[in-house]
Chain A
Amino acid sequence: MKINPNVPLEYGTEENSNRIFGFWIFLGAEIALFSTLFAVYFTLWNRSGSGPTASEIFELKGVLVETFLLLTSSFTCGLAIHAMRHGFKKATLVFFAITLLMGLGFLGVEITEFVTYVHDGATLSTSAFLSSLFVLLGTHGLHVTMGFLWGAAIMIQIKREGFTPDTTNKSFIFSLYWHFLDVVWIFIFSFVYLKGMM
C-alpha cells in the first residue's frame, strides 16, 4: 500500500482518497433525497385534514434542545477530527464520545416528541401533513441512529488500532456524514418548526 506523506493520513492512499470523493457524491444523493422529502412536506404541510395543524402541535422547547444538542455535537465532531490530525488519540475518542452522546440525547428528545404527538392523537395516519412530518423527521432520525452505530464502531476501531489509514479515513468520512445531518437539521429547524410555529 502506497501512502502519500504529503496529505493528511485519511487521504493517504488512492483507495482512501477515492472513498472520500465517493462519499461526497453519496452525500449529493442524500441531498436529493432530503430535497424530495422537503418538497413532499411543503406540498402537504397545510393539508392537515381533520387532524391538528403544525402550529397546534409544535413546541419550541424540545426543538431548541434538539437543535442545541445536534449543533454542538457537530462542533465536537469537528474537534475530534482536529485532534485526530494532530495524533491525539485520547482527545479524539473523548470528542467522539461527546458527539455520540449528544446524538443519543437528540434521539431521546425526538422520540419523546414523537410519543407526545401520538399521545395527542397526531399519528402517521391522521393526515397527509402528519405523514409527511413523521417521514421527514423519521428519515433524519434514522440517519442519526445509523450514524450513532457507525460512530461507535469506529471508536472501537480507533481504540484497538490507533490511527491508521483505515481508521482515520473512516473517522473523516463519518465526520462528513455527521456534519451533513447537522445541515439537514438546520433546514428542518428553519423550514419545518419555525415556519410551522409562525
Chain B
Amino acid sequence: MKLDEFFVTGEPMIYAAMVSIVVASLAILIGLTYFKKWGYLWREWLTTVDHKRIGVMYIIAALLMLFRGGVDALLMRAQLAVPENGLLDAQHYNEIFTTHGVVMILFMAMPFIIGLMNVVVPLQIGARDVAFPRLNAVSFWLFFAGAMLFNISFVIGGSPDAGWTAYFPLASLEFSPTVGNNFYSISLQIAGIGTLLTGVNFIVTILKMRAPGMKLMQMPMFTWSILITSVIIVFAFPVLTVALALMMFDRMFGGQFFTMANGGMDMLWANLFWVWGHPEVYIVILPAFGIYSEIIATFSKKNLYGYKSMVASMVVISLLSFVVWAHHFYTMGHGSMVNSVFSITTMAIAVPTGVKIFNWLFTLQKGRISFTTPMLYTLAFIPIFTIGGVTGVMLAMASADYQYHNTMFLVAHFHYVLIPGTVFAVIAGFHYWFPKVFGFRLNERLGKLAFWLITIFFNVTFLPLFFLGLNGMSRRMYTYSEGSGFGPLNMVASIGAVGLALGFVVLCYNIYWSFRYAPRENVNDPWGGGRTLEWATHSPVPEYNFARTPNVKGMDAYWHSKKENQPLFEGKIEPIHMPNNSGQPFILGVIFFFLGFFLVFSWWIPSIIAGIAVIIMLAARTFERDHGRHIPVKEIMEIEEKHGGELV
C-alpha cells in the first residue's frame, strides 16, 4: 500500500486535522512529562478498577466524542445552509454523516450513559463496587480502543461512507472499495464486546450486590432502568456481533452473505442491523428515563408517582423493542400484512411511554418544584420529547411512512427523540451527580444559560426539518438545487445549529469555570433533596463508597432515614475488601486496538501476532491469583475524619 493511500490526502480540512492531532498529542506527552504526571496517570487512572474513576473516564471520552460528532454536524449544516454549496464534496459529506451517526450513538450516547451508570449504580444500591471490577476496566478499554480505531479512520485509510446503517450492497467491497467500512465493522465489534461485558457485569451487580434489605421493587428508578437496559444489551448486542462479523467476512474474506450474486441477500443485513438497532435505541433511552425519574423526584421534593407502573412500562418497552425492527424498512416490500403487524407493535410502544410521561407530570403535582439546571433539562424534556414521541407514532403508520421514510421528517423525528431524550438526560445527570464525584456543583448561572441556548436552538435547528421532509427533501443529500425551494428552511436550521453549538461551548466553559472558581462544598447531599443512597455517603466519594454497609428498610432510603431520624449505618466498622488495580485491561485494550488496525488493512501476520497476544493476556489472567486487599479500620477512620466525620 502506498503512503498516499494510507493517509487521507487532498483535503485542507484533513491536513488541518492531522496537524492538530499531532500537536495535541505532543502537547499531552510533553505536559505529562513536564509535570511528572506519568506515574499519577498510570496508577490512578489507566490501571484503575474503581467504578467511579472508570465512569469518569467514560464521560470524558463521551465528551470528546460529542465534540467530534458535533463538528461533523456543524460541517453538515454548513454545507446544507445554501443550495448548491461547494464547501464539501459528495464523498466528504457522505463520510461526515456516516461518522456523525456512529460517533453520536455508539461513542457518545452509550459511553455517556455507561459512564453515569458506572458512577451511580453501585452507590445507589449501597455496594462497594460492581460485581466484576476488573471486567469493568476491560469493558472500558475495549470501548476506548474501538472508539480510537474508528476515529483514526479520519486521517488514516479513509472514513466509512455508507451511512451509519451501512446497508448492503452499498457497503460491500464492490461499491465501497476503501478500508472505511472495515474500520466500521472492526471498531464497532471491539467496542461492542466491551458493551456486552458491561451488560453482564451490571445485571450481576444489581441482582446480587444490593445492600441488605433493598428489595427489587425498592430500587431507585435509575437502577431499575439500568437493569432493564443491561438485559437488552445482553440479548441485542450478540446480534450486532454476528452482523459485523458477517460484514467482515463479506468485505475481507470473500463471504457471500449480502452480495448481489451467489445467493447473497442484501435485506438480511438490514434485518440483522435493525434487530440490534432498534433495541439499541432503547438502550440509550431507558437510562435517560431513569435519570429523569431521579431528578424529577428530587427537585419536586416528592417520591416518584406510580413507581410500579414506571417499572412495568420499562419492562414492556424493553420487550416491545425486540419486535418492531421491520418498521425501519416498511418500504422494502413486505406487503401490507407484515407492515400492519409491525405498525401496531410500534404504535403500542406509545402506551407505556405515555404512562411514563403522565407519571412524571403527576410527580410534579403537589410538589415543591425548584428550577435547578438538571431540573430544567428534565422539564424541557417532557414537552419536546413528546413531539418526538407523537411524530414517532405518525411514522409508525406504514402507509404514511412511505412518504416520511428516508426524508428530513425522519431526521427531525429521531433528533427530537434522541436529543431531549438521551442528550438532555446525560447533561442533566452530569450536572446532578457532578458534586457527588467532585465535591462541588457546576455554576448554576452558566448552567442555565447553556440550557436556554441548547433548548431554544435545538428547536430552531430541527423543527424546520419536519417541513423539509414533507416538502420532499430526502436525508443524506449533500446538496440540493435552488429550484427545490429547500433553501430558506435549511438556512434556519443551520443558524440553529450554530446556536446549539454555542450552548455546548457555554456548557464546557462552565465545567472549566467551576473547576477553577466554584465553592467546594464537600457535603454529602449538596442539592438538599437527595432521596437515594448515593447521597448518603461523602462527596467526593471515598474509594470504598460506604464505610459501613447501609441497612435499607424501604424505598428512597436516604430520604426516609433523614426524615424519620433512623440511622442508615449500623454496626461497627470492619476492614473493607477492595480489588487491586491492574494494568492488564489497559494493555488488552492497546492490543485490541492494534489487532483491529491490522485487520482493517488486512495485514495478516501482524494480525495473527496481535491475536496471539490477546490469548497470552487471557492466559495470564487465568493463572493470576489476585484476591485484592483489605483496607484496615484505622485507615478507614482516617479517611472518614478527613471527609468530615463518620456518617450515621
Contact = CB atoms under 8 A, between A and B. Distances in A.
A49 B260 CA distance: 11
Interface of B, helix, strand, loop or mixed by DSSP: helix
B122 to A, nearest CB: 13
Contacts of A47: 263-265
Contact of B615 (A21, A126, A135, A149): A149
B262 A49 contact: yes
Given A25-B204, A28-B235, A33-B238, A44 B249 contact: no
Nearest to B619: A153
Contact of A37 (B201, B242, B265, B623): B242
Contacts of A36: 238-239, 242-243, 272, 275
A191 interface: no
Interface in B584-628: 615, 619, 622-623, 625, 627
Interface string B220-245: 00000000000000111111011101
A124 interface: yes
Contacts of A48: 263
Interface stretch (B250-258, B460-468, B475-483, B494-502): B250-258
Contact of A157 (B199, B249, B615, B623): B623
A29 B250 CA distance: 24
Contacts of A37: 242
Contact of B234 (A25, A135, A156, A170): A25
Contacts of B261: 49
Contacts of B272: 36, 40
Interface in A16-66: 17-19, 21-22, 25-26, 28-30, 32-33, 36-37, 40, 43-44, 47-51
A189 to B, nearest CB: 21
B562 interface: no
Contacts of A125: 253-256, 262
Contact of A25 (B200, B242, B250, B622): B200
B238 A30 contact: yes
A40 B257 contact: yes
Contacts, number: 119
Nearest to A161: B625
Nearest to B132: A22
A40 B242 contact: yes
B262 A32 contact: no
A29 B246 CA distance: 18
A29 B196 contact: yes
A28 B234 contact: yes
Size class of the B contact interface (CB-based, 8 Å): 35 or more
Chain B CB count within 10 A is highest, among A18, A129, A154, for A18
B634 interface: no
Interface of A, helix, strand, loop or mixed by DSSP: helix
Nearest to B233: A29
A1 interface: yes
B622 A170 contact: yes
B208 A40 contact: no
Nearest to B624: A166
A157 B130 CA distance: 27
A175 to B, nearest CB: 15
Contact of B204 (A21, A43, A44, A157): A21
Contact of B263 (A14, A30, A44): A44
B235 A32 contact: yes
B204 A128 contact: no
B255 A131 contact: yes
Size class of the A contact interface (CB-based, 8 Å): 35 or more
Contact of A18 (B132, B622, B623): B132
Nearest to A157: B623
B48 to A, nearest CB: 19
A154 B619 CA distance: 10
B259 interface: yes
B102 interface: no
Contact of A51 (B196, B255, B262): B262
A140 to B, nearest CB: 13
Nearest to A32: B238
Given A44-B257, A50-B262, A126-B262, A157 B238 contact: no
B256 A157 contact: no
A128 B235 CA distance: 25
B622 A127 contact: no
Nearest to B253: A124
A17 B262 CA distance: 49
Contacts of B253: 124-125
Interface string B269-310: 000100100000000000000000000000000000000000
Interface in A131-156: 131-132, 135, 149-150, 153-154, 156
A191 B430 CA distance: 50
Contacts of A26: 200
Given A36-B242, A40-B272, A128-B259, A29 B237 contact: yes
Contact of B257 (A28, A131, A150, A156): A131
B256 A43 contact: no
A76 B115 CA distance: 44
B268 interface: yes
B238 A44 contact: no
A18 B204 contact: yes
A89 B262 CA distance: 54
Contacts of A157: 622-623
B623 A44 contact: no
A128 B238 contact: no
Given A18-B204, A135-B245, A135-B249, A1 B627 contact: yes
A129 B263 contact: yes
A43 B622 contact: no
Interface in B491-546: none
Contacts of B113: none
B268 A43 contact: yes
B21 interface: no
Chain A CB count within 10 A is highest, among B132, B236, B259, B263, for B263
Given A18-B204, A124-B255, A44 B625 contact: no
Contacts of B622: 150, 153-154, 157, 170
Nearest to B259: A128
B203 interface: yes
B69 to A, nearest CB: 28
B418 to A, nearest CB: 25
A128 B261 CA distance: 9
A128 B168 CA distance: 14
Nearest to B207: A21
Nearest to A1: B627
Interface of B: 131-132, 196, 199-201, 203-204, 207-209, 234-239, 241-243, 245-246, 249-250, 253-257, 259, 261-265, 268, 272, 275, 615, 619, 622-623, 625, 627
Given A22-B201, A124-B256, A131-B256, 4 more contacts: A25-B234, A40-B246, A44-B268, A49-B263
Interface of A: 1, 14, 17-19, 21-22, 25-26, 28-30, 32-33, 36-37, 40, 43-44, 47-51, 123-132, 135, 149-150, 153-154, 156-157, 166, 170
* The 4 A-B residue pairs with the shortest CB-CB distance in the complex, in nearest-first order: A47-B263, A125-B254, A128-B263, A49-B262
13 contacts: A29-B196, A36-B239, A40-B257, A43-B268, A47-B263, A49-B263, A125-B255, A125-B256, A128-B262, A131-B255, A135-B245, A153-B622, A166-B625
